[in-house]
Amino acid sequence: MRKFGIIGNPLGHSFSPGYFNEKFLNEHIDAVYEKHELKNIADLPELLDKEEFLCGLNVTIPYKEKVMEYLDYVSPEARSVGAVNVIKVTHTNDIGAVKELKSKVTGKKTYYTEGYNSDVFGFINSMRPLLMSYHKKALILGTGGASKAINYSLRQLGLETVFVSRTVRDNMITYSQITPEMMQEYLVIVNCTPCGMAPHYDECPDIPYDTLTSRHILYDLIYNPDETLFLKKGKEQGAMTKNGLEMLLLQADESWRLWNK
């Protein structure tokens, strides 16, 4: 039986096990998808050594960036993004075969790991149908691994981007620096923070919602709940809103393609 899974911490909220295990059942695929809650990303090599039938992993908070240094290969796109959320694992007992994959294998290591980013594929294909000619600038709320993929994706779609952080950081603005004038220029706003995620339904990013218009797009990577307070406040002002479920489904399918290519 082939094995797949997800690494991160915590993983109680993860959508992926249910999605993939249902897919395997419905499509009669002899595989299982499991959670691997790692206390430290340095535990990844031990997991790979132990799980000889493990063929692929998804990566979530807080390891999308840190995992890159543990991989044999990182795709140019994932390297440009600065984050990996898909790992393809090739196991073999033939150390020569691993070397043919250009792995930097040493000692008893008999696996080769490749890192990719399927968030880019998921977000671009979810966001593109919403964009109009006047959507030229975007605010990215949050600075974690997911926000890097969103920034890369928005730039691929031709938009200028600005990161918004809770703290003062280089090349970013804080929430208090978002002015009404800026809101009229930055018509796409993407929430890449966990603010508003279940069970914190009463929380939302601190932006001036009263300046939103029908020309704005509010996109939330959160999918539980279906409508966060961020999206609800946007909808009340007439903005177009979308949660992260479609992106999640698209990136999951892209993960499956990458594991099987």
Question: Residues with catalytic annotation?
Answer: 64
188-209 per-residue burial string, b: 16 or more CB within 10 A, e: under 16: bbbbbbbbbbeeeeeebbebeb
Residue with tokens 């999640």: 248
